[in-house]
Amino acid sequence: MHLNQDQRAHTSLLYNLSYTMAPYTITYFAIKGRCGALKILLADQSQTLKEKLVTFDEWAKGDLKSSCVFGQLPKFEDGDLVLFQSTAMMRHLGRKHGAYGKNDSEAAHIDMMYDGVEDLRTKYIKLIYQEYETGKEAFIKDLPNHLSKFEAFMAKNKSGFLVGDKVSFADYNLFDLLLNLKVLCSTCLDTFPTLKKFVDTMSARPKIKALLESEDFKKLPINGNGKQ
Pairing label, strands 24-29, 49-54: parallel
By CB under 6 A, is residue 72 in contact with ligand GSH? yes
Site string for ligand GSH, 84-113 (x = CB under 6 A): -xxx--------------------------
Please select the residue that binds ligand GSH; options are 1, 140, 155, 212, rule is CB under 6 A.
1
The stretch among 81-89, 131-139, 157-165, 189-197 that binds ligand GSH (CB under 6 A) is 81-89
Backbone angles phi, psi at 221, to 5 degrees: -65, 155
Pairing label, strands 75-78, 49-54: unpaired
Q: Closest Cα to residue 97, out of 46, 143, 139?
A: 46
DSSP 170-192: HHHHHHHHHHHHHHH-TTTTTT-
Read off the amino acid at residue 199. Answer: V
Please select the residue that binds ligand GSH; options are 41, 49, 73, 188, rule is CB under 6 A.
73
The CB-of-206 to ligand GSH minimum distance in angstroms stands at: 28
The CB-of-72 to ligand GSH minimum distance in angstroms stands at: 3
Query: Counting beta carbons within 10 angstroms of the beta carbon of residue 20, is it exposed (0 to 12), middle (13 to 18) or buried (19 or more)?
Result: exposed
Please select the residue that binds ligand GSH; options are 11, 33, 189, 199, rule is CB under 6 A.
33
Binding site for ligand GSH (CB under 6 A): 1-3, 33-34, 65, 72-74, 85-87
